[in-house]
Amino acid sequence: MSNMLDYIEWRGDIPFTAAPFNEVDNLVLARLSYIPLNGIINGFNDKTSHAAAGGSKEISDITAEHLPEHAKSALPGYIQAPPVDMLTVTSLYLRKRNDAAWFSGMLDPVNDPLLIEKAASSRRFGNIKLCFSENIFDKSITEQFCAVTAILDDNSAYISFRGTDNTIVGWKEDFNMTFMKNIPSQIDAVRYLEAAADKLPDISELRVGGHSKGGNLAIYSSLKCRPDIQDRIVSIYNNDGPGFSKGFAEYHASDDIINRIHTYVPQTSIVGMLLNHPENYTVVESSQNGFLQHDVYSWQVLGPMFIHRAEISEESQLIDRTITEWLSKLSNEQRSIFTDTLFGILESANIDTLNNMTENPKKMFNILRELKNVDDESRSHTADVLKSLFKIAGRNITSEFSNYISRS
């Protein structure tokens, strides 16, 4: 079975000028926004907390190939400055490695260094220029936002929005989508898209995309940006991202721009089925099961396309119906109270990231202690969501602990 890493090896010797942009290229570039670029590529917004100053860099200038093996294992997803010599590389690594803010919230999948290395050494992706890296993390308004722009050799650009990272702030912002008219990241996505487009006036074709929440931001920003920028957008890519509150797309979008949206979901999609979607979707085969299909490295590729399925699985349909039915019974005020309750538990237990939930057994039981203070009506749903967050954190809690949560 092949994924996008295999695709880069297969198609990597052919530039975009010779083989047009395709759906798998979209996934590669959507993933780039998950790579920590702080201090390496410049942003253009003074309010960013971690954006750096400097110029755009070739992907081939920021490959991880010169990192020592221990650095790669400790720092998956790391992108280096131009690899002049090992001393420079090591110095940069140590400086970044000791900067806790630089790593805050990163999920650090082990495949990200491979993605960057393969992309950097290929003709197709190696000439891409990255610019306008922007990273915002603001706990006071519950915002986690990151974006980067890639300029291709065919003189088009792909604006890539990052999805939810490992921070509890990022996950709370996702839950806020269920009852807020818009979330801070959506507002910043519109601003970012307009700013990037304005700074690239000679780029006539813009593609906008992202994975998970990043896919939602891609659609939102494309529907809400200025008409002159909409005219330059040729495609919008949503890779297993959630939808919107009822009526949003119908109010803000024309059929013309809706037809430019390409949404891809794995066969047992959970995130991509949430809320309401104005667009149709294409089902992609994944090598994983359940929620793990959200991992884009599990999406199967054949040539320049994903392997498509006819429809989502019965399990995905059941989960979608269950969540939709549950949300339909709650007013926006009740959804807000539930979200505050859920994340209040995590805050009281001193949980800042998903990793915090599983790295220390004491914190697990701090969560249990706080859960006991929740009223009976909310406790069951809160416990279910907490169990899901444990799974997303990458570790399966024991059946005994799972049962204990359910009984609490």
283-319 pLDDT, tens digit each = 999 999 887 888 999 999 999 999 999 999 888 888 7
Helical H runs in 83-235?
Answer: 86-97, 100-103, 111-120, 123-126, 168-176, 184-199, 213-224, 227-230
User: Do 289 and 342 fall within a single domain?
Assistant: no
String of DSSP letters for 25-58: HHHHHHHHTTS--TTTSB---TT-SS-B-S--EE
Answer yes or no: is 322 within a domain. Answer: no
- Same domain flag for 35 and 82: yes
> Comparing C-alpha atoms, which of 49, 66, 33, 40 is closest to residue 104?
49
Evaluated on CA atoms 316, 318, 322, 324, the torsion sign reads positive
Listed ranges 41-50, 107-116, 229-238, 360-369; the one with the highest mean pLDDT: 229-238
Of 41-50, 69-78, 347-356, least confident by mean pLDDT is 69-78
Final residue before a domain boundary, out of 247, 282, 313: 313
Answer yes or no: is 320 within a domain. Answer: no
Residue that has been written with the tokens 């200025």 in this structure = 226
Output the CA torsion 152→118→110→54 (10° steps): -50
* Least confidently predicted of 41-50, 179-188, 262-271: 41-50
Max mean pLDDT range (39-43, 45-49, 151-155, 262-266): 262-266
Position 168: which residue type? Answer: I
264 and 309 share one domain: yes
* Cβ neighbours around 380 below 10 Å, total: 13
The runs of H, that is alpha helices, within 163-212 are 168-176, 184-199
Residue ranges making up the domain that contains 359: 330-407
Domain termination site, one of 283, 313, 343: 313
The single-letter DSSP state of residue 398 is: P
CA quadruple 30, 324, 186, 354: dihedral sign: negative
Phi-psi region of 213 (alpha: psi -120 to 50; beta: other; left: phi over 0): alpha
176 confidence band (pLDDT: 50, 70, 90): confident
Contact 53, 260 (CB under 8 A): no
- 39 and 135 part of one domain: yes
Q: Is residue 33 part of a domain?
A: yes
Classify residue 318: in a domain, yes or no: no
Of the residues 313, 340, 375, the one at which a domain ends = 313
User: Domain check: are 178 and 241 in the same one?
Assistant: yes
Q: Does residue 258 fall inside a structural domain?
A: yes
State how far the Cα of 262 lies from the Cα of 283, in Å rounded to an integer. 11
Looking at the structure, do residues 241 and 104 belong to the same domain, yes or no? yes
Whether 357 shows a pLDDT value over 80: the answer reads no
Q: How many domains does the chain have?
A: 2
Query: Are 289 and 366 in a shared domain?
Result: no
Asked if 263 and 212 touch (Cβ cutoff 8 Å), the reply is no
- Say if CB 162 and CB 134 are below 8 A apart: no
Is residue 136 located within the same domain as residue 241? yes
Does position 117 have pLDDT exceeding 70, yes or no?
A: yes
> Are 113 and 69 found together in one domain?
yes
Residue 93 falls inside a structural domain: yes
334 and 309 assigned to the same domain: no
- CATH code, domain carrying 94: 3.40.50
How far separated are the first and last CA of the chain, in Å rounded?
43
Q: Has residue 377 got a pLDDT over 80?
A: no
Proportion of the chain above pLDDT 90, given as a percent: 33
Strands 156-161 and 205-211, bridge-based pairing: parallel
Contact 344, 289 (CB under 8 A): no
What are the CB-based long-range contacts (under 8 Å, 24+) for 358-361?
A: 358/390, 358/393, 358/394, 358/395, 358/397
Q: What is residue 81's predicted lDDT score, i.e. its pLDDT?
A: 30
Q: Which helix (H) or strand (E) holds 344?
A: helix 332-348
- What is the pLDDT at residue 135? 85
Domain shared by 19 and 119, yes or no = yes
Same domain membership, residue 339 and residue 309: no
Q: Is residue 300 part of a domain?
A: yes
State the Cα–Cα distance between residues 317 and 311, nearest whole angstrom: 10
Q: Are 83 and 101 in contact, with CB atoms under 8 Å apart? A: no
Instruction: Name the residue among 175, 173, 176 with its Cα closest to residue 162.
Output: 173
Amino acid at 394: G
Token reading at 211: 């994975």
Of 381 and 263, the structure prediction assigns the larger pLDDT to 263
Q: Which two tokens stand for residue 270?
A: 């959970």
Q: Please report whether residue 324 resides in a domain.
A: no
CB-CB neighbours of 199 under 10 Å: 12
Q: Is the pLDDT of residue 150 over 50?
A: yes
- Rounded CA-CA distance 71/308 in Å is 37
